[in-house]
Amino acid sequence: MDLGFYALQLLTGLAYASTLFLLSVGLSLIFGAMGIVNFAHGSFYMLGAYFLYAFTRGQADGFWGGLLLVLATGFVIGAFVERIFIRRVYARPEEYQILLTYALLLIIEDLVRFFFGTGYRAFPMPQAFAGPLFLLGTPFPSYYLFLIGLAAVSALLLGIFLYRTRLGAWIRAATQDREMLEALGVNVPLLYTVVFGVGIALAALGGAALLPMQAATPGMAVDAVINAFIVVVIGGLASVWGALLGAVLIGLVQALGVLFLPEWAMVFPFALMALTLLLRPWGLLGRPPAVRT
Amino acid sequence: MALLEAKDIYRSFQGFLALAGVSLSVAEGSFHALVGPNGAGKTTLFNVITGRLRPDRGRITYEGREITGWPTFRIARMGLAISFQRAQPFLSMTVLEAVAVACLGYQGRTFALLKPLRDFKEGLAQAEEALQKVGLEKQSSRRVSELPLGDLKRLDVAIALAGRPKLLLLDEPLAGLSRAERREMVAFIRELLRKEGVTLLFTEHDTEAVLHLADRITVLHQGRVLAEGSPEEIRQNAEVRAAFLGGGA
Amino acid sequence: MRLLWLFLALALLGPWFSEYGLKLASEAFILGLYAMAFNLLFRQTGLLSFGQAAFFGLGAYTMALLVARGGWPFPATLPLAFLISALGALFIGFLSIRLSRIYFTMLTLAFAQLLYAVAHKWYAFTGGDNGITDLRPPGIWGESLFYYYVVLFLFALGVLFLWALERSPFGYALRALRDNRARAEAVGINAFGHLLLAFVISGALSGLAGALQGALQRSVFPDYLFWTRSAECILATILGGSGVFLGPAIGATVFLLLRVVVQANTEYWPFFLGALLLLMVLFFPKGLGGLALEMASRRLKGERRGASGS
């Protein structure tokens, strides 16, 4: 095994981390701003993949338009779900908010089975990424670079949105003190709709972007939401950069795990999460609770 | 002898220094007031003493034992009780149940799984006794959620007293009460605690009540001790006056 | 005591059931016990476990492995199923209870799915998705009526235990923690210890239910650990009403009847589960039991008003 081989594993891990980031950053954002843990988050990730398939009829030449369409649809669906369902339970105890998103998880899974069947839905590699690239003499899928670039651009745009725009400042303020925002006259319900829409759009984009590498199945929603949980628990719930760090860590751990102990690979992310919970329970970049609870 | 001693306590929140080297000594049998404007660090200090917050630096000793970093429940079992400013004790229970479960909590006996609470005669007797002390014995079978605010505060004091504490912390016991109720509450606290021999450490914004109730006062300002002394000394302290007039307390 | 009358009535009902009825009733007791165990956490502590299937499945696999691989007699496996599930809950609870309730919900789901994945992939030990089959309990234990009484007895035992727990200082301490955690800790109640013990009890009872279910079905598959299995006890609880002591057991019965009807007509049962949960959460958060209580108290008030008016 030469250096190129290890570089390839590293790249594989980063590519995986990229989709993980898109998936979990919305979960983190929604929790931070609205205080709601969205158990259906993985379901929207799954919908992103199926929508790309449906919009392009599984044809690679519709990839770019399909991706944009998925992003837009994701936002609309997210906003719609917030308006129709989530909004009704803000005043309820948090367990009912969780139950509501859990019900959506069940419903969406069966809707997908109804419309797309239980089998795999695969998508061909878009023309632009057909040939492999070489790193230190080892071939690797050029699509990896696209995934990493997509996540990097998304993180950058999200950073600009949150730290350079007024809307972003309000969203950050919502993580600190919601009453104050209302006192300032900010339209908080609208803000919530936007946050939910953005979070869902990113998840859908992540699901769609992974489709050429990995076929979609109805079972992927639960696996995805659990991966997102692991990422945000490690990085720190409600922290956008925590989601980034958590995604990279899990991506690399997963890649190394597959390399050295393939049978146990799926246990490693859990082990890392357990370790975080023991040593730094609020996550690597999360804030410790002000008062011990 | 000092019952409670805090030495050089520091605590910050995300860069904001809430306590910057506070030392405090509460003598056994005294009524000690902690005053200062909002944000002076009173509540943070209470949270540090009761173990809800860990100090960044400094030590807390109680009855000569260091309790820094102990969990809240262990500190409570040492006989250091607190009654909160926003009294919302156990709203799903009856008055007697709320005090009885507190009694057993202080004694570390709430891991009993099968014997019903109402068969813990000793605990119930202690609970009734605590309710008598605060004058709520007639309300014992009412639901906590039905009590008016004044009675809720009394109940919270009864819950604090149920563990027969040596030291009682009261966080703004008069907040939310009318003028008449305040006067009544001050008299009630003083009489009750003198009779029980309980040492008191309390915070309060009502200056008149503080001067009336306390025999020792510590003034906190921006996380530091500005002055300490008898009510008379504090009243005449120029620095305190300047800080309070300037700080808008 | 009303509970004892209820158990007596259920016992007398046994001989009147058909073979199919006995199986369905046994399953209702099992799901009832499972949901009541879930609700110990949900109602008394506000902790919402999305991974209750972890313990249901642990209990079922313990029973199945001991019977199929160890040659143990079925009844002897029940205490061990109880114990192993308790240990599993101790481990998962230790990691999950330390932070907020939201973390608890996320982590219970995650750990349960981890167990599912392990059971699914570890062919040599669990048989993977072929499961463990042919678990026919020997002799009289395999007869439906006798098994009905076994399940009813354990269900009754579990319910009485939970009933006593609710009235004990431990139950009150849990309620105190739920009502106002800061206050409860300030009167000397050890929050972590109490919640962990409640979780362990809940897990152990779920494991017992899982073992009973495995023997009833005569087989155990990885789906005993799957997240939709966790959804079953949640739905039974919400359906029957989490605020009513027997609510989850009532919900379990309604749930099973619904499943029989829905599954006879469509394969999209999870969709119905989800839609029902959605409706209950949005419009009837108190469940059927809560609704019944409300109607009863309204009628009572109406009568009183009528009496005082006349």
Q: Is the pLDDT of residue C4 over 70?
A: yes
- Specify the pairing of strand B167-171 against strand B224-229: unpaired
pLDDT at C306: 54
Distance separating the N- and C-terminal Cα atoms of chain A:
50
Instruction: Say which residues have a Cβ less than 8 Å from residue B17's Cβ, sequence separation at least 6.
Output: B10, B11, B223
Question: What is the average per-residue pLDDT within A222-248?
Answer: 88
pLDDT at C187: 93
Instruction: Say which residues have a Cβ less than 8 Å from residue C3's Cβ, sequence separation at least 6.
Output: C156, C159, C160, C163
Q: Is the pLDDT of residue A288 over 80?
A: no
Give the SS3 label for residue A121.
Answer: strand
Enumerate the residues of chain A whose CB falls inside 8 A of the CB of residue C278: 85, 100, 103-104, 107
Count Cβ atoms below 10 Å from residue B115 Cβ, excluding itself: 13
Q: Is residue A242 part of a domain?
A: no
pLDDT at C305: 59
How far is Cα C292 from Cα C243, in angstroms, rounded to an integer? 12
Given an 8 Å threshold on Cβ–Cβ distance, is B90 in contact with C184?
yes
**Tokens representing A247?**
């995604």
Q: Is the pLDDT of residue B36 over 50?
A: yes
pLDDT at A43: 94
Q: Is the pLDDT of residue C125 over 50?
A: yes
pLDDT over 90 for what percent of chain C?
Answer: 44
Q: Is residue A284 part of a domain?
A: no
pLDDT at C155: 95
Residue B228 zone, left/alpha/beta (φ > 0; ψ -120 to 50; rest): beta
Q: Are B69 and B129 in contact (CB under 8 A)?
A: no
- Specify the pairing of strand B65-66 against strand B167-171: unpaired
A292 min Cα distance to partner chain B (Å): 5
How far is Cα A165 from Cα C169, in angstroms, rounded to an integer? 54
How far is Cα C252 from Cα C34, in angstroms, rounded to an integer? 9
Question: What is the average per-residue pLDDT within B38-54?
Answer: 88
The DSSP symbol for A133 reads E
Q: Is the pLDDT of residue A62 over 90?
A: no
pLDDT higher at B208 or C25: C25
Longest dimension (CA), chain C: 77
Given an 8 Å threshold on Cβ–Cβ distance, is B113 in contact with C164?
yes
Which residue ranges make up each domain of chain C?
2-309
- Banded model confidence at residue A197, pLDDT cuts 50, 70, 90: very high
Q: What is the DSSP string of C175-244?
A: HHHHH-HHHHHHTT--HHHHHHHHHHHHHHHHHHHHHHHHHHHT-B-GGGSSHHHHHHHHHHHHHH-TTS
- Residue among C106, C107, C108, C116 at smallest CA distance from C58: C116
Q: What are phi and psi of B176, to 5 degrees?
A: 85, -5
| Domains observed in chain B | 1-79+165-249 (3.40.50.300), 88-164 (no CATH)
* Sign of CA pseudo-dihedral A231, A235, A240, A243: negative
How far is Cα C274 from Cα A99, in angstroms, rounded to an integer? 10
pLDDT at B249: 39
Enumerate the residues of chain A whose CB falls inside 8 A of the CB of residue C259: none
Given an 8 Å threshold on Cβ–Cβ distance, is B100 in contact with C191?
no
How big is chain A, counted in residues? Answer: 293
How far is Cα A23 from Cα A32, in angstroms, rounded to an integer? 15
Question: What is the average per-residue pLDDT within A30-49?
Answer: 90
Q: Is residue A90 part of a domain?
A: yes
- Which domain covers residue A78, as residue numbers? 3-117+125-217
Q: Is the pLDDT of residue A44 over 60?
A: yes
Q: Is the pLDDT of residue B240 over 80?
A: no
Which of C161, C179, C189 lies at the smallest CB-CB distance from B110?
A: C189
How far is Cα C136 from Cα C133, in angstroms, rounded to an integer? 9
Given an 8 Å threshold on Cβ–Cβ distance, is A99 in contact with C231?
no
Residue C47 zone, left/alpha/beta (φ > 0; ψ -120 to 50; rest): beta
Enumerate the residues of chain B whose CB falls inside 8 A of the CB of residue C161: 114
Average pLDDT, chain C: 88
Q: Are A8 and A170 in contact (CB under 8 A)?
A: no
Q: What are phi and psi of C162, to 5 degrees?
A: -65, -35
Q: How far is CA C34 from CA C88, C99, C158, in A?
A: 16, 25, 10
What Rg, from alpha-carbon coordinates, does chain C have? 20
Interface test with C, best of B72, B74, B84, B161 (most C CBs within 10 A): B72
Enumerate the residues of chain B whose CB falls inside 8 A of the CB of residue C169: 101, 104, 109-112, 115, 117, 120, 123
Residue C50 parent element (H or E): none
Question: What is the average per-residue pLDDT within B112-118?
Answer: 87
Q: What are A72-109's pLDDT values in tens digits? A: 999 999 999 999 999 888 888 888 888 899 899 999 99
pLDDT at B148: 87
Question: What is the average per-residue pLDDT within C175-184?
Answer: 91
How big is chain C, counted in residues? Answer: 310
How far is Cα C166 from Cα C201, in angstroms, rounded to an integer? 13
Interface test with C, best of B50, B82, B88, B90 (most C CBs within 10 A): B90
How far is Cα C175 from Cα C165, in angstroms, rounded to an integer? 11
Question: What is the average per-residue pLDDT within B150-160?
Answer: 89
Residue A2 parent element (H or E): none
Average pLDDT, chain B: 87
Q: How many CB pairs under 8 A join A and B?
A: 11
List all residues of chain A from 250 to 289 with a beta carbon under 8 Å from chain B: 287
Q: What are B60-71's pLDDT values in tens digits? A: 999 988 999 899
Q: What angle do CA A203, C53, C28 make, to 5 degrees?
A: 125
Q: Is the pLDDT of residue A179 over 80?
A: no
Q: How far is CA B152 from CA B102, B145, B168, B170, in A?
A: 15, 9, 17, 14
Longest dimension (CA), chain B: 61
Q: Is residue A274 part of a domain?
A: no
- Poorest-confidence range of A204-208, B144-148, C120-124? C120-124
How far is Cα C135 from Cα C220, in angstroms, rounded to an integer? 8
- Residue among C183, B242, B150, C110 at smallest CA distance from A230: C110
Q: Is the pLDDT of residue C89 over 70?
A: yes
Q: How far is CA B193 from CA B1, B27, B213, C66, in A?
A: 18, 15, 11, 63
Q: Is the pLDDT of residue B112 over 50?
A: yes
- Specify the pairing of strand B31-35 against strand B216-221: parallel
For residues C11, C14, C16 and C20, what is the CA-based torsion angle, rounded to 10 degrees?
150
Decide if C121 touches A, using CB distance below 8 A. yes
Which of C98, C270, C275 lies at the smallest CB-CB distance from A277?
A: C98
Cα C285 from chain centre = 19
Q: Which of A244-253, C193-202, C271-280 has the highest mean pLDDT?
A: C193-202
Decide if A291 touches B, using CB distance below 8 A. yes
Partner chains of B (3+ C-beta pairs under 8 Å): A, C
- Banded model confidence at residue B248, pLDDT cuts 50, 70, 90: very low
pLDDT at C309: 43
Q: Is the pLDDT of residue A176 over 80?
A: no
Interface test with A, best of B53, B68, B91 (most A CBs within 10 A): B53
Q: How many CB pairs under 8 A join B and C?
A: 115
Q: What are B161-185's pLDDT values in tens digits? A: 988 889 999 988 888 888 888 888 8
- Banded model confidence at residue A128, pLDDT cuts 50, 70, 90: confident
pLDDT at B172: 87
Give the SS3 label for residue C254.
Answer: helix
Question: What is the average per-residue pLDDT within A192-207?
Answer: 93
Which of B13, B51, B72 lies at the smallest CB-CB distance from A290?
A: B13
What does CATH list as the number for C2-309? Answer: 1.10.3470
- Poorest-confidence range of A143-152, A277-286, B162-171? A277-286
Burial class (CB in 10 A: 0-12, 13-18, 19+), B72: buried
Q: What are C278-309's pLDDT values in tens digits? A: 998 888 888 888 888 888 888 777 666 555 44
B197 min Cα distance to partner chain A (Å): 31
**Tokens representing B39?**
């944000």
Given an 8 Å threshold on Cβ–Cβ distance, is A291 in contact with B51?
no
Which chain B residue has its CA at the smallest distance from C171's CA? B113
pLDDT at A289: 64
Decide if A261 touches C, using CB distance below 8 A. no
List all residues of chain C from 262 to 301 with a beta carbon under 8 Å from chain A: 268, 270-271, 273-275, 277-278, 281-282, 285
pLDDT at B176: 81
Which of B72, B82, B101 lies at the smallest CB-CB distance from C169?
A: B101
Count Cβ atoms below 10 Å from residue A275 Cβ, excluding itself: 12
**Tokens representing C54?**
């972890």
pLDDT at C304: 61
Give the SS3 label for residue C305.
Answer: helix
Enumerate the residues of chain A whose CB falls inside 8 A of the CB of residue C282: 85, 88-89, 100
Q: What are B219-228's pLDDT values in tens digits? A: 888 888 888 8
Q: How many CB pairs under 8 A join A and C?
A: 114
Residue C17 parent element (H or E): none
Q: Is the ipTM of this complex over 0.95?
A: no
pLDDT at C303: 65
Enumerate the residues of chain A whose CB falls inside 8 A of the CB of residue B53: 290-292
Question: What is the average per-residue pLDDT within C94-100?
Answer: 85
- 3-state SS of chain B is CEEEEEEEEEEEECCEEEEEEEEEEEECCCEEEEECCCCCCHHHHHHHHCCCCCCCEEEEEECCEECCCCCHHHHHHCCEEEECCCCCCCCCCEHHHHHHHHHHHHCCCCCCCCCCHHHCHHHHHHHHHHHHHCCCHHHCCCEHHHCCHHHHHHHHHHHHHCCCCCEEEEECCCCCCCHHHHHHHHHHHHHHHHHHCCEEEEECCCHHHHHHHCCEEEEEECCEEEEEECHHHHHHCHHHHHHHHHHCC
How far is Cα C274 from Cα C263, in angstroms, rounded to an integer? 14
Burial class (CB in 10 A: 0-12, 13-18, 19+), A105: buried
Number of H helices, E strands in chain A: 11, 2
Q: What angle do CA A152, A158, A160 make, to 5 degrees?
A: 105
Residue A134 parent element (H or E): strand A132-135
pLDDT at C310: 39
Instruction: Say which residues have a Cβ less than 8 Å from residue C242's Cβ, sequence separation at least 6.
Output: C39, C42, C43, C248, C287
Q: Is the pLDDT of residue C7 over 90?
A: no
pLDDT at C153: 94
Enumerate the residues of chain C whose CB falls inside 8 A of the CB of residue A42: none
Decide if C173 touches B, using CB distance below 8 A. yes
Question: What is the average per-residue pLDDT within B32-46?
Answer: 87
Residue A141 parent element (H or E): strand A138-141
Number of domains present in the structure of chain A:
1
Enumerate the residues of chain B whose CB falls inside 8 A of the CB of residue C197: 111
pLDDT at B247: 43
